[in-house]
């Protein structure tokens, strides 16, 4: 965890390795920033308890301790249920004092009371459905992970008057429906019933008190009450065994894999009734990492392909990472045929977000992952829980840590090519192909393709070793600045930190051009003139961004 003694040890270790005169980097140094962080109080752990009032309603209450987020569902009289304050330990590492108790980072304190309701995934549409048949004011919503970001589950709830939120990991989303203690860790890789997924409950990247500025000691900081992008109401994560005790009777399409009905707003805490879920997969999946997964800008596709052809897949002396990757994730390219699929960087849930979305720096995210055809788990089940340990990883994720080595070799190969090549190994024609996939008939895209082809021909026809340094520098600048040509600081004034008109976060189902896609979805739904005007506006933004990128690739006199 950030600023912990273990974090400091990691910093010192990395500095030592990178400053090593024989095996380190050219230079490495330490920069310190003063950032706004959220921690639980270990002396007063977050609690969830339920009691019965005189009206036989369960009254959630949220308490604060020293301005730290503490969520408690508490009765006005006798307590009948108390959720676990920590996960059941199955190995010594899980009992270490540094294991952080379940909490939602950046959740505010508070003292609301209300009836417990089940709100599916906490999307705006989920609260809208509930609001049609009941008054949500003063209620406490229990939701499952998925469908909306962590913070969004509370942000979406607040306008409907919801007073607080509980969030849990449903075994259908993470465990292929398995929830019994004999089917989960330590008997398999699946999350145990008491497992609680923690996380940062904010929608922005960077320091929350110094938006758009480096969080140095002297930097101006906004008042804490002006922070945006964090839950406006208290929220607390719990395990699915506790969630099962709290919810019953919900619509079929909202159900997960808990062995109880799901409640959308019933008046009480009733004995659990069992039902058979036909979607539950009976096979227990225990396979380790299987293949490479890459997200990246289209420009990096070529260099990643080259690097992965030179690294062997774990456990094989003949199969390359490229060939194995091709088997699991592939697509058909109009120019290259069947190739591995490099996913687009449309999300903001990883460390690359600020680099690609705000700064326009060509980026990639490389990892090894499990066989997605064998499990429906959205991520490895112990993610961000107390079970996410060395032992868990070595037993179920990557025995022998061979996949870790493979990722390091692949990333190292890519980095060497980026650092040592005379020309940066980006391929702008791959960018053109991506644009054509989404806007095939646009005149601006056709011009981009022409300039990309021309620049590639110049690169291929030139004997770069004999070219002037100025020409080499010019081409490198064109390749490196291509991504930045798609930035528009005014395109998304309502979205903090997003300027890339191709890859910003979106609310519609389209993969790219988020501003245009969202505007079209809104206009198509309302058919209002002002909404169609927004479509025209965002089409103009996209067109001019592509035209600007085209000029970036053009020949320079």
Tell me how far apart the alpha carbons of residues 221 and 301 are, in angstroms, rounded to a whole number. 40
Domains in the chain, number:
3
Q: Do 86 and 139 lie in a common domain?
A: yes
355 and 338 in one domain? Answer: yes
pLDDT at 496: 87
Whether 432 and 394 map to the same domain: the answer is no
Q: Are residues 106 and 215 in the same domain?
A: yes
pLDDT bracket for residue 268 (50, 70, 90): very low
Q: Does any domain span residue 285?
A: no
Question: Would you state the pLDDT for residue 492?
Answer: 87
Q: Phi first, then psi: what are they for 358, rounded to 5°?
A: -105, -40
Output 473-480 pairs: Cβ under 8 A, ≥24 positions apart. Answer: 474/556, 475/423, 476/423, 476/424, 478/552, 478/553, 478/556, 479/299, 479/423, 479/424, 479/426, 479/428, 480/362, 480/424, 480/426
Instruction: Please indicate, yes or no, if residue 269 is contained in any of the structural domains.
Output: no
- If asked whether residues 192 and 303 sit together in one domain, one would say no
* Residue 31, domain member (yes or no): no
Same domain, 407 and 447: no
Confidence of residue 331 (pLDDT cuts 50, 70, 90): very high
Of 419, 449, 474, which residue sits at a domain end?
A: 419
The rounded distance, in Å, linking the Cα atoms of 384 and 301 is: 30
3-state secondary structure 209-262: CCCCCCCCCCCCCCCHHHCCCCCCCCEEEECHHHHHHHCCCCCHHHCCCCCCCC
Q: Specify the range with the lowest mean pLDDT, choosing from 13-22, 266-275, 357-366, 464-473.
A: 266-275
Q: Check whether residue 397 and residue 502 sit in a common domain.
A: no
Tell whether 391 and 436 lie within a shared domain: no
Question: Given 201, 231, 254, which residue is the final one in a domain?
Answer: 254
CATH of the domain at 350: 3.40.630.10
**Residue 273 is assigned to a structural domain of this protein:** no
Q: What is the pLDDT of residue 464?
A: 76
pTM: 0.84
| 214-246 residue pLDDT tens | 999 999 999 999 999 999 999 999 999 999 888
What confidence category does residue 304 fall into, taking pLDDT thresholds of 50, 70 and 90? very high
Task: Among 419, 451, 467, give the residue marking a domain's end.
Answer: 419
212 and 122 inside one domain: yes
pLDDT band at residue 75 under the 50/70/90 scheme: very low
pLDDT over 80 at 87, yes or no: yes
Which residues are CB-neighbours of 331 under 8 A, at least 6 positions away? Answer: 338, 339, 340, 341
Asked if residue 478 is part of any domain, the answer here is yes
Least confident of 67-76, 399-408, 418-427: 67-76
**pLDDT tens profile 358-404:** 999 999 999 999 998 889 898 999 999 999 999 999 999 999 999 99
CATH of the domain at 230: 3.50.30.30
Gap between the Cα atoms of 346 and 283, Å rounded? 33
Structural domain of residue 474, as residue ranges? Answer: 428-553
Please tell me the predicted confidence (pLDDT) of residue 543: 92
CATH at 505:
1.20.930.40
Same domain, 190 and 89: yes
Q: Which long-range contacts (CB under 8 A, 24 or more apart) does 478-481 make?
A: 478/552, 478/553, 478/556, 479/299, 479/423, 479/424, 479/426, 479/428, 480/362, 480/424, 480/426, 481/552
Q: Is residue 185 part of a domain?
A: yes
């Amino acid at each position: 965890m950030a600023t912990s003694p273990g974090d400091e040890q990691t910093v010192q270790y990395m500095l030592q390795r990178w400053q090593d005169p024989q095996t380190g980097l050219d230079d490495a140094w330490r920069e310190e920033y003063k950032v706004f962080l959220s921690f639980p109080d270990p002396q007063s752990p977050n609690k969830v308890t339920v009691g019965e009032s005189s009206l036989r309603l369960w009254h959630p209450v949220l308490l604060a301790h020293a301005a730290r987020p503490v969520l408690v569902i508490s009765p006005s009289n006798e307590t009948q249920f108390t959720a676990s304050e920590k996960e059941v330990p199955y190995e010594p590492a899980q009992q270490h004092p540094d294991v952080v108790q379940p909490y939602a980072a950046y959740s505010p304190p508070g003292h609301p009371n209300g009836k417990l309701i089940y709100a599916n995934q906490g999307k705006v549409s989920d609260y809208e459905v509930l609001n049609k048949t009941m008054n949500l004011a003063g209620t406490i919503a229990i939701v499952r992970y998925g469908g909306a970001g962590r913070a969004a589950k509370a942000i979406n709830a607040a306008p409907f008057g919801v007073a607080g939120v509980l969030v849990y990991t449903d075994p259908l989303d993470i465990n292929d429906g398995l929830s019994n203690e004999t089917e989960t860790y330590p008997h398999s890789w699946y999350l145990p019933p008491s497992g609680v997924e923690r996380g940062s409950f904010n929608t922005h990247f960077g320091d929350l008190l110094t938006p758009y500025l480096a969080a140095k000691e002297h930097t101006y900081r906004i008042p804490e009450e002006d922070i945006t992008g964090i839950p406006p109401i208290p929220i607390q994560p719990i395990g699915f065994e506790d969630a099962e005790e709290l919810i019953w009777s919900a619509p079929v399409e909202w159900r997960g894999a808990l062995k109880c009905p799901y409640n959308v707003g019933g008046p009480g805490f009733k004995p659990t009734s069992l039902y058979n879920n036909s979607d539950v997969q009976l096979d227990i999946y225990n396979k380790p990492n299987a293949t490479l997964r890459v997200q990246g800008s289209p420009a990096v596709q070529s260099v990643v392909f080259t690097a992965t052809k030179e690294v062997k897949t774990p456990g094989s002396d003949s199969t390359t990472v490229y060939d194995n990757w091709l088997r699991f994730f592939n697509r058909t390219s109009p120019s290259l045929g069947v190739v591995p699929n490099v996913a687009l960087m449309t999300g903001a849930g990883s460390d690359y977000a600020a680099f690609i979305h705000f700064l326009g720096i060509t980026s990639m995210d490389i990892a090894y992952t499990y066989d997605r055809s064998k499990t429906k788990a959205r991520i490895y089940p112990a993610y961000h829980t107390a079970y996410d340990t060395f032992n868990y990883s070595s037993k179920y994720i990557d025995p022998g840590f061979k996949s870790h080595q493979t990722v390091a070799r692949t990333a190292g190969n890519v980095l060497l090519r980026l650092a040592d090549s005379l020309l940066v190994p980006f391929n702008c024609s791959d960018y053109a192909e991506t644009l054509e996939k989404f806007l095939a008939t646009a005149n601006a895209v056709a011009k981009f393709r022409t300039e990309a082809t021309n620049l590639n021909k110049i690169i291929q026809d030139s004997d770069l070793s004999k070219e002037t340094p100025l020409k080499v520098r010019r081409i490198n600048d064109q390749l490196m600045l291509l991504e930045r040509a798609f930035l528009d600081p005014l395109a998304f004034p309502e979205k903090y930190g997003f300027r890339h008109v191709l890859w910003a976060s979106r609310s519609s189902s389209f993969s790219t051009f988020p501003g245009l896609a969202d505007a079209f979805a809104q206009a198509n739904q309302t058919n209002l003139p002002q909404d169609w005007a927004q479509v025209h506006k965002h089409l103009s933004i996209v067109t001019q961004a592509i035209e600007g990128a085209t000029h970036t690739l053009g020949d320079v006199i």
